[in-house]
Amino acid sequence: MSVTALTLSVNGVFALDPGFLYGGGGGAYIAVPLSILLSLFISRAFLKLIPDRRRPPAALRVLLCLGLAAFPALALRTFLHALQTLVYDAGAVGLLAFILPAVLYIALRGDEVAAWTSRCFALALVLSLAVSVAFSASGFQTYRLYPLPTGNIPHLVGLTLLCTPAFVPPLLAAGLAEGEARTPTVSALISCAVTGAALFASALCFPAQMLENMPMPLYAAGALDPRQSFILRLDKLFIMLWLGGDMIALAHALALGARLLKAEKSEVRA
Amino acid sequence: MRKNTVKNACDRIPGTQKELVKLVRGLFSAHINNDVIIRAFFTAADQRLTLVCMNGMADSKVINEFILKPLMEHERKEKGLAELSARCIETAEARMAYSFAEAMKAVTDGMTALFLEGERACLVLETRGFEKRGVSKPENESIVLGPKESFTESLRTNITLIRRMVKTPALIAESIVAGGENGVCCSLLYVSGKADGQTVSLARERLEGLAPDTLVSSGVMEQLIEDGGLLPVPRVLSTERPDRAAGHLLKGGVCLLCDGSPFALIMPISFFDLMESPEDVYLRPAPGTLVRVVRYLGAFVSVFMPGYFLALVLYHQGMLTTEVLSTVASSREMVFEPIALEIMLLLLIFQLIREAGLRVPGPVGQAIGIIGGLIMGQAAVTAHLASPVVLIIVAASGLGNFCIPDYSTQLSASYARMAAVISAWMGGLLGLTAVTLVTVASLAGTKSFSRPFLTPLAPKRRTRRPLILRGRIGRGRGG
């Protein structure tokens, strides 16, 4: 269960391009969670259409593999950009030299191991997000939510629909691997809460025009607090924790994709 | 009567006393080895018997009073050894053996082998009486509350210590000779109906598949039977406490006792079993929880604090407040070596002091800890080889390491600590994150007798036992 929720959360918070999310105004905090729920229904409908879940069509498996890996990889791009601008004065190759071996190692151990690894980090990730949101609270201003997204329903609907490719593959893959409908539902609900909280906190701290060019708004939000406190300085640690989450999601995507290409069913719950 | 299963003609028990004596003397090199005793005698009914035992291993008083004397005074001629055993022998245990190798193996174990002229079998009698250590206090797992008994080198004594605590007929003590005929006598204990059948059969299979020449004690056996992999963390728990072994058996685990070893091997285990102290169950929930939380914090600090500190100082100074930065800078002003090297050097010195303190016996060993810790530390700071801040970080890490109850796990935590320091040196928090992920993934992918090592956290398993917090005992909960 945890790795699906982790993948959905990473895709929702870090993978989607800020220009795409905020180009038409605010509302990502509504559209993205709605998109996750919509993706849940879409994936359930897809699963019902597949005659044999153990051997899905080859074309679907290939698309699924691509979709599984694409968005965690996009999130990795976001993290690399953030690391280069905010943390290290280093090239991408140097950073990838640390990231890729770990991702490949976990992927080679298998999707079960990746899922179990994600369970170990789940609490730390949720806590780090909660702390980030809590300490950005001093910068919350409701006026930044205006104009409200409910004033532009077509844009909201369009954004919801356009975000679904980021969430359908993980839910569909989880349904194929686990063989049950309940597990992706809980993961979807958890990731709705996580992405909604993160995006809503960002929207309260910055207007949409600023968010368009901001890859890590929660990081910047933490810097708004003028107090000199050790806990407030843990922003880079939180970036690393979430990067770790993305690495696990990417490793799981690679391993699960490989398993799906071989059309083997996973036997162990995540 | 047991069927004669001797297949090899050379392994048949000789029918005549002359042949038997020649064979025994040849096997034990009796012309230079005086340990073996070969006693030929007659019963009162003129039946010729030969007794073979090992000097010092067999109890001569038992042999004299309960074997030789009754047999020599027995006036009736019996058909065979079975009848003689039923009418004359006054030892508690007596069994027939049909192969010469089996008989001689029993002799080397301290039993006595009795041969009757003309019979191709022998009687193996329980006469073990070698000197053995009595039940004493545990040396490595001493606790304030709870029993003060520990295992000894005698297999029978150890089984008895466990049976005193697990008073159920379902407790099975399966005898296995690990490593074939000439291997180590072991006993595989489990509670029938509670233990996982797969674990029991896996343990049995691995024991029986061991090569005989490599086995000395449970320490070697532990490495040979545990699941493969290069991970330094133990996948089998070694304990010298009978109460700990009994507790594990009652939870459905399996315990292996080896003759000659004062440790029991417990399997399957998880990472959380390695972090449990035998004293936890003897504390109330609140103090027990506090102790456990401190232990986990200590382990976390031990592994990550030096690397985290190094990452912050080298790459992420903005994460430290101005006061901390200035303290670190001023304390390191005269230290000539890079901070990474300083940390690694101090960690190495800490390990040296720890090992020296373990190897040197008695009060001198304790003094070395004090000398090493205080005097060398002070001298290192004065000589500008180390800074006080780094010394405190390394000392805190070392103290955290001692919070880990299991000695093997303490050593494996040292590996993880060094990996964290090196990765932090090379890549700051990014390197630390990558190494942490790889370590956790390695732990998650490891198994202990087919049970995932991070169970019940990953994979999730419903359990009434809390992982870190100490639950209430009774009503089937807690522990």
Q: Quick check: B432 contacting A, CB < 8 Å?
A: yes
Q: Determine whether the interchain pair A234/B319 forms a contact, defined as Cβ–Cβ distance below 8 Å.
A: yes
Which letter does DSSP use for residue A148 in this model? P
Residues 6+ apart with CB under 8 A from B87: B74, B76, B78
User: What are the tens digits of pLDDT across the range B456-468?
Assistant: 887 777 665 666 7
A236 lies within 8 A of chain B by CB: yes
CA distances from A177 to A70, A255, B315 (A): 19, 12, 41
Is the pLDDT higher at A156 or at B476?
A: A156
* Contact at CB, B434 and A101, closer than 8 angstroms: yes
Within a 10 A sphere around the Cβ of B145, how many other Cβ atoms? 9
* Cβ proximity of A47 and A172 under 8 Å: yes
| H helix or E strand, kind and range, residue A37 | helix A28-49
Please write the tens of the pLDDT for every residue from B235-283: 999 999 999 999 999 989 999 999 888 999 999 999 999 998 888 888 8
Reported as a single tens digit per residue, the pLDDT across B422-447 is 999 999 999 999 999 999 999 999 99
* Contact between chains at A116 and B434 (C-beta distance less than 8 A): no
Element (H, E) at B176: strand B171-178
State the average pLDDT for chain A.
Answer: 85
Q: Which residues of B touch A102 (CB under 8 A)?
A: 434-435, 437-438
Q: pLDDT over 90 for what percent of chain A?
A: 34
Please answer yes or no on whether B437 and A106 come within 8 Å at the CB atom: yes
The minimum CA-CA distance between B136 and chain A, rounded to whole Å, is 40
d(CA B327, CA B309): 13
pLDDT reading at B406 higher than 70: yes
- Mean predicted lDDT score pLDDT of chain B: 86
Terminal Cα-to-Cα distance of chain B (whole angstroms): 47
B26 burial (CB, 10 Å; 0-12 / 13-18 / 19+) is exposed
With contact defined as beta carbons under 8 Å apart, do B131 and B148 qualify? no
Crossing angle for the helix pair A2-10 and A111-135, to the nearest 10 degrees: 50
Q: What's the mean pLDDT in B355-364?
A: 77
pLDDT, residue B464, reads: 59
Contact (CB, 8 A) for A10 and A246: yes
Under the banding of pLDDT at 50, 70 and 90, the label for residue B207 is confident
Q: Which residues of B181-209 are buried (b: 16+ CB within 10 A; e: fewer)?
A: eebbbbbbbbbeeebbeebbebbeebbee
Q: DSSP labels for B138-150?
A: -SSS--SSS----
Whether residue B325 lies within 8 A of chain A, CB to CB, comes out as no
Place of tokens 């968005």: A71
CA distance linking residue B200 with residue A266, whole number of Å = 26
Nearest chain B residue to A268 by CA: give it: B459
Q: With left for phi above 0 and alpha for psi between -120 and 50, is residue A56 left, alpha or beta? A: beta
The predicted-structure confidence for B24-78, as pLDDT tens digits, reads as follows 999 888 888 888 899 999 999 999 999 999 988 888 899 999 999 999 999 989 8
- For the ranges A255-269, B316-330, B350-364, the lowest mean pLDDT is seen at A255-269
Q: What is the pLDDT of residue B21?
A: 92
What are the φ and ψ backbone dihedral angles of B268, each rounded to 5 degrees?
A: -75, 155
* Per-residue confidence band for A63, with pLDDT thresholds at 50, 70 and 90: confident
Residue A152: predicted pLDDT: 83
Tell me the C-alpha distance between B113 and B127, whole Å. 10
Nearest to B294 by CA among B129, B404, B374, B429: B404
Distances (CA, A) of A121 to A102, A115, B270, B292, B418: 15, 10, 18, 20, 22
Q: Please list, in sequence order, all residues whose beta carbon lies within 8 angstroms of the beta carbon of residue A229, skipping any fewer than 6 positions away.
A: none
Check residues A181 and B65 and name the one with the higher pLDDT: B65
Q: Residue B7 pLDDT more than 50?
A: no
What distance in Å separates residue A145's CA from the closest CA in chain B? Answer: 31
| Cis peptide, bond prior to residue B285, ω within 30 of zero | no
Q: Cα–Cα distance between A38 and A48 in angstroms, integer?
A: 16
CB contact under 8 A, A228 and B457: no
What distance in Å separates the CA atoms of residue B43 and residue B475, rounded to the nearest whole number? 62
- pLDDT of residue B10 exceeding 70, the answer is no
Q: Is the pLDDT of residue A72 over 50?
A: yes
- Percentage of chain B modeled with pLDDT above 70: 92
Per-residue pLDDT at A183 exceeds 90: no
Out of A115, A120, A233, name the one closest to residue B440 (CB). Answer: A120
CB contact under 8 A, A269 and B460: yes
Span A94-128, pLDDT tens digits? 888 899 999 999 999 998 899 999 999 888 888 88
Exposure letters A133-143 (e unless 16+ CB within 10 A, then b) = bebbeebbeee
Can you give the pLDDT at residue B2?
A: 39
pLDDT for the residue B476: 53
pLDDT confidence of residue B29: 87
Task: Reply yes or no on whether the pLDDT at B22 is more than 50.
Answer: yes
State the DSSP code for B40: E
> Using CB atoms, which residue from B321, B427, B438 is nearest to A228?
B321
Q: Which of B319, B432, B444 sits opposite A113 (nearest CB)?
A: B444
pLDDT for B369: 72
pLDDT-derived band of residue B307, with 50, 70 and 90 as boundaries?
Answer: very high
Judge whether B303 and B415 are in contact, CB under 8 Å: no
The pLDDT confidence band at residue A62, using thresholds 50, 70 and 90, is confident
Instruction: Return the ∠ at Cα B479 (arms to B449 and B439), rounded to 5°.
Output: 45
pLDDT for res B4: 41
Could you give the dihedral angle defined by the CA atoms of residues B128, B132, B137 and B141, in that order, rounded to the nearest 10 degrees? -90
Average pLDDT over residues B141-151: 86
CB–CB contact B459 A236 (8 Å): no
How far from each other are the two terminal CA atoms of chain A, in whole angstroms?
Answer: 5
Q: What pLDDT was estimated at residue A267?
A: 45
**Cβ of B462 under 8 Å from any chain A Cβ?**
no
Domain definitions of chain A by residue range: 2-261
Q: Do A270 and B437 touch (CB under 8 A)?
A: no
How far is residue A194's CA from residue B469's CA, in Å, rounded to a whole number? 27
Tell if the CB–CB gap between B440 and A114 is shorter than 8 Å. Answer: no
The nearest alpha carbon in chain A to B324 belongs to: A230
Cβ contacts below 8 Å, chain A against chain B, sum to: 96
In whole angstroms, give the CA distance from residue B358 to residue B363: 11
Q: What angle is formed at CA A211 by the lines to CA A209 and CA A216, rounded to 5 degrees?
A: 165
A234 at the B interface (CB within 8 A)?
yes
Res A224 pLDDT > 70: no
Query: Under 8 Å CB-to-CB from A267, ≥6 apart: which residues?
Result: none
Q: What is the pLDDT averaged over residues B285-300? A: 90
Average pLDDT over residues A55-76: 87
- Judged by a CB distance cut-off of 8 A, whether residue A86 touches chain B is no
Q: Give the ipTM of the model, two decimals please.
A: 0.90
Longest CA–CA separation in chain B, Å: 101
Contact B457 A120 (CB under 8 A): yes
Across the interface, whether the CB atoms of B437 and A109 are under 8 A apart is answered no
Q: How many C-beta atoms surround the C-beta of residue A42 within 10 A?
A: 16
Hey, which residues 265-324 in chain B have their CB within 8 Å of chain A? Answer: 315-316, 318-322
Query: In this predicted structure, what is the pLDDT of residue A109?
Result: 93
Rg (CA), chain B: 29
Q: Which fold has domain A2-261?
A: Amino acid/polyamine transporter I (1.20.1740)
Query: How many residues in chain B?
Result: 479
Q: What is the pLDDT of residue A189?
A: 92
Those residues whose C-beta lies under 8 Å from the C-beta of residue B32, and which sit 6 or more positions away, are: none
Which of B326, B372, B374 is closest to B352 using CA atoms? B372
Q: How far is CA B4 from CA B8, B9, B113, B342, in A?
A: 11, 12, 17, 70
User: Would you call B447 helix, strand, or coil by DSSP?
Assistant: strand
- In the predicted model, is pLDDT for residue A25 greater than 50? yes
Cβ distance of A119 and B320 shorter than 8 Å: no
Q: Are B133 and B120 contacting, i.e. CB atoms less than 8 angstroms apart?
A: no
